Amino acid sequence: MTKVKICGLKNPTDIKCINTLSPDFAGIVMFFEKSHRNISVQTAQELLALLDKNIKSVAVTVSPTEEQLEQIYNLRFDYVQIHGNITDEVLKNSKTPIIRAINVSGTDSLTDLDNYKNVKGILFDSAVPGSGKSFDWTLLKKLPKTDKMLFLAGGLTADNVAAAICQVHPYAVDVSSGVELSDKSGKDFELVRTFIENARNSK
């Protein structure tokens, strides 16, 4: 069964929603002030304390520094999802297992997956992450086999997630904007419920 990650959680109401509906991963955006989903270290700590321990927590970052990765480790996140640029040295020194995000803009962006050392998972996102736009899933058809967890993100909704799973067969699907309330204040319970249901019922 394909696993589900709900990303961009911002407040206790979002956590209550997640705890009730039980996805496999919960994503929290940190150290990226350009995003309206970005939260402080203190808020992250409060939300993690509320989160069901059976749900894996993921700190979502963009080009994090070693100091920021240390803070994520101290908060005891299960994983850190890294977008943007990152040096091999920072990757090597991360104490938290890494999910490396790749913005798919063509076949050139899909390099040898096993070259990503110290990386437990790879997340394939649209060229503009967080935009709610999808990319051409057929680009992933020729991916080499790998033991890493492969996440599919970018423009997924309750309406297209089953088709995406049937086409790509990822380890997990990731959604943020596709399950948000219209005012972007948090997650829409019914959208999250339907997304998880459709993802888990897909074949």
How many CA atoms, within 13 angstroms, populate the side-chain half-sphere of residue 41? 10
For residue range 152-203, list pLDDT tens digits in order.
998 899 999 999 999 889 999 999 999 999 999 999 999 999 999 999 998 6
Residue ranges covered by each domain of the chain: 3-200
How does residue 31 score in pLDDT terms, banded at 50, 70 and 90? very high
Q: Specify the pLDDT at position 115.
A: 57
Dihedral of CA 62/14/149/59: which sign? positive
More confident residue, 112 or 56: 56
* DSSP H helical ranges for the chain: 12-21, 41-50, 66-74, 88-93, 161-168, 189-200
Nearest to 9 by CA among 67, 64, 66, 52: 52
For residue range 77-106, list pLDDT tens digits in order.
999 999 988 888 888 889 999 999 987 765
How does residue 113 score in pLDDT terms, banded at 50, 70 and 90? low
Catalytic residue among 7, 14, 17, 174: 7
125 is catalytic: yes
25-29 and 172-175: which strand pairing? unpaired
CA angle, residues 86, 87, 93, in degrees to nearest 5: 100
7 is catalytic: yes
Q: How far apart are CA 157 and CA 92, in angstroms?
A: 34
Q: Specify the pLDDT at position 85.
A: 86
Catalytic residue among 14, 17, 24, 125: 125
* Topology classification of domain 3-200: TIM Barrel (3.20.20)
Cβ burial 110-119 (10 Å sphere, 16+ → b, else e): beebeebeeb
For residue range 130-141, list pLDDT tens digits in order.
556 677 777 777
